[in-house]
């Protein structure tokens, strides 16, 4: 018996429920499964993301294909069409927040909630918190329970691995030399796992689930710096980026 015959035998009330429920059920299933079946790595290179090029170069070195996206792509709902990983790189935090606006932040929030992997580096770590350490302290994504303290400084620093079993630092030495460029010193709250810390004890690399997704934050730069002539392969920090990408689906 085909669907048309089955519908003909239903009472009007049952038929009405069928016609209403099935499209809703299909829509919900598609929404929840959109990110789970996605494969694409997206790098935000829109307003404020001046260090996106370094992340893209690092991805190319480890053989990862990516799509470059901007605020327009995000505002049009692009993250819902095949994006599995969103990387927000270093840059100008206030410009990013202003360009994305409330709707753009909500799109990112929904992406992670639905199962996406968010990797925030420096500025990307700043905007992941509920309040952004930028002029006026605008509202951030609020997708991870951290408080960011804004500090200044540029150069290669050392961070200490405090959880050797954390998949983010798999294969890394106890002390990691890594490029730092005004990144946040993070104070983690409940539910946040800390993989590495700065000398002052504040968190440098953290992760936490958010909805069906996962949030990974790097205060320093695993991708190195072309401007600072810092090769991430020489430092060994490309491994951190590789490990982060492998964590999709582990939440």
Q: What is the pLDDT of residues 151-193, one digit of tens each?
A: 889 999 999 999 999 999 999 999 999 999 999 999 999 999 9
pLDDT at 138: 86
What pLDDT was estimated at residue 38? Answer: 57
Q: What is the DSSP letter of 155?
A: E
Asked whether 27 and 98 are in contact (CB, 8 A), the reply is no
Domains of the chain, residue spans: 1-33, 38-246
Which pTM was predicted? 0.84
Written as six digits, the tokens of 222 are: 């695993």
Cβ atoms within 10 Å of 54's Cβ, excluding its own: 23
Task: Name the class of domain 38-246.
Answer: alpha beta
Residues 149, 249 contacting (CB under 8 angstroms)? no
| DSSP tally for the chain: helices H, then strands E | 8, 11
pLDDT confidence of residue 248: 83
* Burial call 31-44: b when 16+ CB within 10 Å, e when fewer: eeebbeebebbbbb
Q: Is the dihedral of CA 84, 125, 251, 113 positive or negative?
A: negative
Please, are residues 11 and 50 in contact by the beta-carbon 8 Å criterion?
Answer: no
CB 207 within 8 A of CB 214: yes
Instruction: Determine the Cα–Cα distance for residues 162 and 165; give it in Å rounded to an integer.
Output: 9
Q: Which two structure tokens, joined as six digits, stand for 65?
A: 């294909």
d(CA 44, CA 85): 11
Q: Which residues of the chain have pLDDT under 70?
A: 1-39, 249-251
Tokens of 224: 């190195």
């Amino acid at each position: 018996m085909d669907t048309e015959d089955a519908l003909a035998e239903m009472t009007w009330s049952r038929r009405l429920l069928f016609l209403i429920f099935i499209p809703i059920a299909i829509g919900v299933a598609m929404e929840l499964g959109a990110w789970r079946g996605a494969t694409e790595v997206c790098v935000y290179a829109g307003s404020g993301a001046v260090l996106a090029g370094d992340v893209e170069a690092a991805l190319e070195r480890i053989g990862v294909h990516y799509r470059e996206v901007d605020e327009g792509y995000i505002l049009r709902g692009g993250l819902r069409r095949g994006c599995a990983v969103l990387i927000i790189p270093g840059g100008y935090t206030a410009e990013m927040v202003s360009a994305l606006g409330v709707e753009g932040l909500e799109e990112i929030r929904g992406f992670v909630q639905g199962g996406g992997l968010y990797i925030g580096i420096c500025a990307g770590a700043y905007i992941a918190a509920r309040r952004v350490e930028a002029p006026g302290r605008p509202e951030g994504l609020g997708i991870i329970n951290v408080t960011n303290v804004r500090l200044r400084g540029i150069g290669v620093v050392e961070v200490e691995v405090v959880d050797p079993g954390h998949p983010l630092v798999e294969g890394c030495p106890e002390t990691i030399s890594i490029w730092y460029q005004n990144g946040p010193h993070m104070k983690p709250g409940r539910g946040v796992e800390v993989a590495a810390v700065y000398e002052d004890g504040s968190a440098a690399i953290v992760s936490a689930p958010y909805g069906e997704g996962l949030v990974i934050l790097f205060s320093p730069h695993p991708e190195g710096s072309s401007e600072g002539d810092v090769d991430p392969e020489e430092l060994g920090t490309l491994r951190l980026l590789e490990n982060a990408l492998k964590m999709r689906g582990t939440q």
